[in-house]
Structure formats: structure tokens, C-alpha cells
């Protein structure tokens, strides 16, 4: 019985809210509509706020209130997690009101919106890449902004995701036994993320890949390919002299040298 009563109360409340909103929509007093949109926004009822802002905006265009209204409209979409429309509005705001006190904030928000749309690692990372580009542009344009630290942290988070995605692709080549492709992919990974904390791991996998590729090669090709293993190991020593993986890398170099010695015999 209590559950039925609760449902009835909810339906009555919903009808009451809808009825009140419909009356506001029918009003020709745009100042009143604007005021009610702000009230809905303050109450976090962003769907209603957004609809009223959009109904009011054509009538306030060109007035002193237009800039603030446009700003609030952008946030009404953002707060509904409608990031596609929010991004477009933040972008349009910065282009329409470049001298606004909110312009810097909207530039940051546009970048943040792309960050919010960044998907899981296994999916296409176009939005992640766009977020990095816009965040870097924001830092360059506003080096003294209070948002620089946050922007830098977001860039780091994006780059970690991009690195992980690239790593997974390279790792797949290795696990499938495509050792030449794996070596190329891990080299590319190192070039794209030279300061990675996993750099020595990537380099070791390059050495492993080159070694396995040489091991499986025709004898006529083995010398140059085992030479490459040793070259990569020497590069490893220079890059990561204190790495815990140095001995593992050395093992492959020694194995490669043994093969070369046997070839000479």
C-alpha cells in the first residue's frame, strides 16, 4: 500500500512540475523566462533550464545579457553531459566573445569536454588526441592561468591512455609472433613516449623481438639480424644504465653473439 501511495505522489509531483514548466514556456515575458531558467539551473534541473535559455536567446541577442545567457546555455548542456553540444557552444562562445571575462574559462572547458569524451583504451582515441592538443594550446596561450596545473594533469592522463593503447597494439604483434612488426611498433612507442617510465621494458621487448626474428630467419639473413640485437643492447646500456632489466637485455646480446660465432665457424 505504501508503495502505491509513493508512486501516486511521484506522479502527482511530476505532473505538477510539468504543468508549471508548460505555463512558463507559454509566457511571453522573456525576462521572466530567463529568471526561471536561472532558478532551474540553480536547482540542477538542467533540462528545463536549457530549454528556457534556448527559447529566450533569440530575443536577447544583441543585448547586454546575450553573452551571459550564451555562457549559461553552454553549461546547461555540459551539466547534462551532452558534451557534443557543449563543445560546440564553448567554442562558439570564445569566437563570438574573445574579450569576455569568461573566454579563458570557455577555452579550458572546450578542452575538458573532449577529455570527458575520451573513451576506453581499446576504442578510437580521436577525442583523447584532440583533448591533448587543445589543452596544450590552452597552456601556451594562458601560461599564467590558474587552470594550467589541471590542464597539465589532464594531458598526463590522456598521454597515459594513448601510450597504453599503443602498447597493447605492439604487444599483440609480439604475442602473435610477428616479431619484425613488434620491433617496429615498440620502437614507434618509444619515439612517441620517450619519457615513459616503461621505456626500458619497451626497449627490452625490441631486443627480444629482434632476437626471435633473427633466430627464425634464413641463415643468409641471420648475421645482420643478430648484429642488430647487439646494437640494440648497446643502445639499451646507454639509455638505461641503471635499469633492473639490463641483465635480461645482456642475455639476448650474449645469445646473439654465440650465434654469430657459430656462423663464422
In order, the DSSP letters of the chain are: -HHHHHHHHHHHHHHHHHHHHHHHHH---HHHHHHHHHHHHHTT-HHHHHHHHHHHHHHHTTSTTHHHHHHHHHHHHHTTT-HHHHHHHHHHHHHH-TTSTTHHHHHHHHHHHHHHT---TTS--HHHHHHHHHHHHHHHH-TT-TTHHHHHHHHHHHHHHHHHHHHHHHHHHHHTT-HHHHHHHHHHHHHH-TT-TTHHHHHHHHHHHHHHHHHTS-HHHHHHHHHHHHHHHHHHHHH-TT-TTHHHHHHHHHHHHHHHHHHH-
C-alpha cell at 88: 560546440
> What are the residue boundaries of the structural domains of the chain, listed by start?
177-265
Residue 256 CB neighbour total at 10 angstroms: 25
CA dist 207 → 70, 115, 236 (Å): 56, 35, 9
Give the pLDDT score at 219: 87
pTM of the model: 0.86
Name the average pLDDT for the chain: 92
Dist CA 86 CA 73 (whole Å): 8
C-alpha cell at 175: 604475442
Dist CA 233 CA 245 (whole Å): 11
Handedness of CA 239, 245, 249, 251 (dihedral sign): positive
The tens digit of pLDDT for each residue in 35-55 reads 999 999 999 999 999 999 999
Q: In this structure, are residues 100 and 120 in contact, taking their beta carbons and an 8 Å threshold?
A: no
Q: pLDDT class for 9, splitting at 50, 70, 90?
A: very low
Asked whether the predicted pLDDT for residue 8 surpasses 50, the reply is: no
Three-class SS of 115-141? HHCCCCCCCCCHHHHHHHHHHHHHHHH
Using alpha carbons, select from 228, 229, 159 the residue that is nearest to residue 189: 159
Asked whether the predicted pLDDT for residue 215 surpasses 90, the reply is: yes
The tens digit of pLDDT for each residue in 126-180 reads 999 999 999 999 999 999 999 999 999 999 999 999 999 999 999 999 999 999 9
Using alpha carbons, select from 187, 193, 200, 136 the residue that is nearest to residue 160: 193
Using alpha carbons, select from 88, 87, 90 the residue that is nearest to residue 71: 90
The tens digit of pLDDT for each residue in 179-205 reads 999 999 999 999 999 999 999 999 999
Q: In this structure, are residues 164 and 196 in contact, taking their beta carbons and an 8 Å threshold?
A: no
Amino acid at each position: 500500500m505504501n508503495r502505491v501511495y509513493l508512486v501516486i505522489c511521484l506522479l502527482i509531483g511530476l505532473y505538477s512540475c510539468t504543468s508549471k514548466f508548460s505555463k512558463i514556456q507559454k509566457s511571453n515575458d522573456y525576462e521572466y523566462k530567463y529568471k526561471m531558467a536561472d532558478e532551474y539551473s540553480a536547482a540542477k534541473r538542467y533540462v528545463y533550464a536549457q530549454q528556457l535559455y534556448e527559447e529566450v536567446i533569440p530575443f536577447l541577442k544583441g543585448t547586454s545579457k546575450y553573452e551571459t545567457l550564451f555562457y549559461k546555455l553552454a553549461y546547461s548542456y555540459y551539466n547534462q553531459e551532452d558534451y557534443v553540444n557543449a563543445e560546440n557552444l564553448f567554442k562558439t562562445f570564445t569566437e563570438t566573445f574573445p574579450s569576455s571575462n569568461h573566454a579563458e574559462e570557455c577555452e579550458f572547458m572546450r578542452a575538458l569536454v573532449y577529455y570527458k569524451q575520451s573513451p576506453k583504451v581499446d576504442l578510437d582515441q580521436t577525442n583523447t588526441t584532440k583533448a591533448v592538443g587543445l589543452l596544450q594550446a590552452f597552456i601556451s596561450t594562458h601560461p599564467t592561468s590558474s587552470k594550467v596545473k589541471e590542464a597539465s594533469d589532464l594531458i598526463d592522463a590522456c598521454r597515459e591512455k594513448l601510450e597504453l593503447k599503443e602498447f597493447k597494439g605492439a604487444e599483440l604483434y609480439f604475442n602473435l609472433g610477428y616479431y619484425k612488426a613488434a620491433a617496429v611498433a615498440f620502437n614507434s612507442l618509444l619515439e612517441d613516449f620517450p619519457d615513459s617510465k616503461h621505456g626500458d621494458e619497451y626497449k627490452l621487448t625490441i631486443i627480444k623481438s629482434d632476437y626471435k626474428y633473427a633466430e627464425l630467419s634464413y641463415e643468409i639473413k641471420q648475421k645482420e639480424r643478430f648484429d642488430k640485437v647487439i646494437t640494440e643492447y648497446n643502445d639499451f646500456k646507454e639509455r638505461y644504465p641503471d635499469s633492473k632489466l639490463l641483465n635480461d637485455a645482456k642475455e639476448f646480446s650474449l645469445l646473439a653473439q654465440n650465434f654469430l660465432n657459430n656462423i663464422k665457424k
